[in-house]
Amino acid sequence: MNSENFLIITIDSTHLVMKVEKFLVDSGIDVRIIPLPGELKASCGLSLKANIEDAHKILELLIENNIDKNIYNFYLCEKNGFKKNFSTFNF
C-alpha cells in the first residue's frame, strides 16, 4: 500500500495562500496549492502542500515576509492508501 507523509499549511485567506505560494516558489521551495482537506478547519478553502524537510525554511520565509503568525497553521499529513491522519506539526 502507498504511504506518504507531507506538510499541509492552512492560511486564513485565498489572497494570502496565493501570495505565500509565490514567494515560496520564488525561493526554491517545492509547494503547491491544493483544496483544504475536509478534516482541517480554516477560513479559506485552499491550503499549501509541501515537503516536511522544507518546514523550517517555510516558517523562516513566512516570518521574513511579515505574515501574521496567527493566520497560518502547519499540519503533518500521514497518508496510507486512502486513509489520511492529520496532526499539528511540531517544529
pTM: 0.93
Buried b / exposed e over 18-38, threshold 16 CB at 10 Å, is eebbeebeeeebebeeeebbe
Would you give per-residue pLDDT tens digits along the chain (91 residues)?
A: 689 999 999 999 999 999 999 999 999 999 999 999 999 988 899 999 999 999 999 999 999 999 999 999 999 999 999 899 999 999 8
Per-domain residue ranges for the chain?
A: 1-86
How far is it, in rounded angstroms, from Cα 55 to Cα 9? 10
How far is it, in rounded angstroms, from Cα 76 to Cα 83? 14
* Residue 47 burial by Cβ neighbours in a 10 Å radius (0-12, 13-18, 19+): buried
pLDDT for 42:
82
CATH topology of domain 1-86: Alpha-Beta Plaits (3.30.70)
pLDDT for 2:
86
pLDDT for 1:
65
